Structure 1
C-alpha cells in the first residue's frame, strides 16, 4: 500500500502580499526625498502640500491627497509604514491577487486618506495648522481589517457592525485616540500634537466602507474556497 499524500508545504515566515510591501516602501521613499532636499526645501514642500482646514475651505482639494505621503520625522514615517505592513495584510488578501486587486487596494487607501483628512478639517474648520501623514488612511485599514474573516483560503465574510469583536476593537482604538487629545496638557510632553480626529474619522470610515467595497469590487471573496 502506497501513501500518495504530500507533506504540507512550509509556509514562509514572511509572506505579505506585494502591495503591502510596496506601499510602505513608497511612503518611506517620499520621506527620504524630503530629507534629501534639505530642511528649507522640505519646509516649503510641507507648506505647499500639507493639509490645513483653511486652505481646504479655499478650494485646495488636492491637499486631501498630497498630505497622505508627507511625514514629519523618521519616527512618524516608520511607525506608519510598519502599521501599514501589519494591518493592510488581511485586507489585501481579501481583495485577491493581480493588478486589479492592487489598484483596488491603492484606490481604497487614497479614499480612506481623503476621508480622514476631510473628517479632521470638518472638526477643525478654523485651524491653520498643517497636517501630514498616512495615519488617517492606516487607521481606516485597521477599522476595515477588524471586520474581515476568512482570508486564508476559506469562505470569506465581513463581520456585522454589531459583532462584539468589532465593537471592542472600535472602542479600544477610538478610546486610545481620544486619550491622545490630552497629551498637550501633560507636563513634559511639550508641543506634541497628534491629529487624533483624523485617526478616528479614518477608522470609522474604514469600518463602514469595507463591506460595500468588497461586495462592489471583490464579490468572489465571499465564496472563495
Structure 2
C-alpha cells in the first residue's frame, strides 16, 4: 500500500500538484473498481447465476426435473448398491451446491457468498478457494445424509458452502482492534487458533446467533417468511464446522502462524 504523499509544489508552479505514482511507476487508476470482489467469487457468482438463468428461461420443466434428480443431492442414493445406479452418487455431493430452487434462494445465497467469500478467497487465492468449495460442499452433504439417512428428498443450493465460509471467517476476519488495523493496512492478520477464536467475544456472539438461527429452523420456526422444513439446517452446520475447525488446512502456508 502506498502512503499518501505530501506535495507542496516544490519545483512546480505555485498551486500545481503532481499526481502520486503507483508502485510500478505509472499513474494511479482514475477509475478504481466499485466492487472489490476477487475473480474467484465473480466466477462462482457467474456460474450459479448462469445455471439458474438457463434453467429458468431456456430449459423445459422435464429437463429441469432431470437436472434436479441427476445433480441434486439425495440421501436415498446411498441405500442402494452404487454399481447398480448411475454415477450421480459421485458428483451430487458437489453439484447440488451449484443449483438453486428459486430466484429468492439464489439472490440470498449470492449476497452471502459475496460477503463472506470475498475475504476468504482474497486470503487463500482462487485455486485454494475452489478446493475449499469442493470439500465444504461434501462436508455439508455428509451431515445432511447422516441426519436424513434414507430420505428421498433432494437438496440444492450453496448454503452449506456459504456456512463453511462463515466458519472460516471466524478464524481471521473477526477479532480485536489491532487485527482490524492490520486489515486496513492491507495486511492479512495471522490465523486465530480455535481456542483464540472462541475466546474472542465477537466470534462467540456470531457463532451463538448463527447456531440459534439454525436451531430455530430445525424445530420448525419460520425464518424470513420461508418454509423452514425446506431449509437444510444440517447441511449448514456441516459446512460451518468444516470451515471453522479445518480452515487452517486451506490457508496459505505463510499465514498459518496463529496470532500471539
TM superposition score category, shorter chain reference: 0.7 to 0.9
Cα distance, 1:5–1:24 mapped onto 2, change above 3 Å? closer
State how many pairs are aligned.
214
Instruction: Identify which range, 16-25 or 133-142, moves more after superposition.
Output: 16-25
SS state at 1:88 partner: helix
1:221 and 2:237 are equivalent in the alignment? no
Cα distance, 1:108–1:185 mapped onto 2, change above 3 Å? closer
Q: Mind listing any 5+ residue stretches in structure 2 that lack a counterpart?
A: 1-7, 11-16, 23-27, 83-88, 174-181
Conserved? CA contact 1:148–1:157, under 8 Å: yes
Q: Give the aligned partner of residue 83 of structure 1.
A: 112
1:120 and 2:156 are equivalent in the alignment? no
Residue deviations 1:62-97, cap 9 Å, x none? 2101111111111111211121111111111212xx
Question: Which structure is larger by alpha-carbon Rg, 1 or 2?
Answer: 2
Q: Give the aligned partner of residue 50 of structure 1.
A: 72
Cα distance, 1:20–1:151 mapped onto 2, change above 3 Å? farther
SS state at 2:64 partner: helix
Find the partner of 2:134 among 90, 104, 110: 110
Q: Report deviation, 1:29.
A: 0.7
Q: Report deviation, 1:128.
A: 1.2
Conserved? CA contact 1:93–1:151, under 8 Å: no
Conserved? CA contact 1:90–1:148, under 8 Å: no
Q: Report deviation, 1:126.
A: 2.4
- Please list, as runs of the form range in 1=range in 2, the aligned pairs for 1:41-190 lying within 5 A after superposition: 41-58=63-80, 59=82, 60-95=89-124, 101-149=125-173, 150-151=182-183, 153-161=186-194, 162-164=198-200, 165-183=202-220
Q: Report deviation, 1:156.
A: 2.3
Q: Report deviation, 1:170.
A: 1.5
Measured on the aligned residues, the alpha-carbon RMSD in Å equals 2.8
SS state at 1:51 partner: coil
Q: Mind listing any 5+ residue stretches in structure 1 that lack a counterpart?
A: 96-100
TM-score after normalising by structure 1: 0.83
Conserved? CA contact 2:160–2:235, under 8 Å: yes
Conserved? CA contact 1:24–1:82, under 8 Å: no
TM-score after normalising by structure 2: 0.73
Aligned equivalents of 1:105, 1:171: Cα separation in 2 = 26
Cα distance, 1:56–1:110 mapped onto 2, change above 3 Å? same
Q: Report deviation, 1:195.
A: 0.4
